[in-house]
Structure formats: C-alpha cells, structure tokens
Amino acid sequence: QVQLVESGGGLVQAGGSLRLSCAASGRTASNNAMAWFRQGPGKEREFVAAIRWRGNSTYYADSVKGRFVISRDNAKNTVNLQMNSLKPEDTAVYYCAADQNPIILDLQRLREYEFWGQGTQVTVSS
C-alpha cells in the first residue's frame, strides 16, 4: 500500500502561482510514475501532469503546458507541481496519484493509477 498526502493548495489571484506537494509513504519502492489530476466543480476528474519515477520523462495536459511544472524528489518520496500564471479555470481539487503497474499503458488515464490522495483545493479568483 502507498499513502499519499497533498499540501499547498489555497486561494490565489489570477496570474499568481502556487506549489503543490505530494508526500508518499509505504511501499513507494514500487512506484513507476506519479501524477496530478484535478476535478473542477461539476466536472470529471482530468489529467494534469505525470512524471516517471525513473528517468526524466514528464507529461502535461495541453491546458497547463508551459504554465505548470511537475518534479520529483526520489529521496524524499515527494512529487511537486509548480503552477504559474494561474487562471480561474484552474480552480479545482487537485489529486496526487501513484502508478505501480509493471507495464505502463497510458499515464493520462485515471485507471492507470492504483493509489490516490485525498486532494487539496486550489481556488483562482479573477
């Protein structure tokens, strides 16, 4: 089992920045990738960004490309999401997820991930 705890959410004005962190504990040695998803009011949960636990590959949704940066610290078992140039449409609950599948199929797919955090609220005011 892996436990994921997000932090860093809050209220920010449009154009501002926030940094989210996700601390992983438990059987993290089996992590192959970690990701951030978000769910806005009345919307389905959607992919934001992912990073492979080995190597430097990162992946982003088109809506955040160039504004958000995902990074990891393997020694601390944390994954971060630096969010810049925030827009009101970025308002959502942001979830951290961990993938321990031996074969990665699609890092943008919700079902790829076995473990999820409780989420942290990000609100961007106009």
pLDDT tens digits, one per residue of 18-58: 999 999 999 888 888 999 999 999 999 999 999 998 887 99
Q: What distance in Å separates the CA atoms of residue 125 and residue 16, rounded to the nearest whole number?
A: 10
Structure tokens at 79: 């994954």
pLDDT band with cut points at 50, 70 and 90 for residue 104:
confident
What is the structure's pLDDT at 103? 86
Tens digit of pLDDT for each residue in 6-22?
999 999 999 999 999 99
CA separation, residue 23 to residues 44, 87, 118, 121, 124 (Å): 24, 25, 12, 16, 23
Task: Name the token pair of 80.
Answer: 């971060």
Q: pLDDT class for 105, splitting at 50, 70, 90?
A: confident
Question: Do 73 and 28 contact (CB within 8 A), yes or no?
Answer: no
**DSSP structural state of residue 85:** S
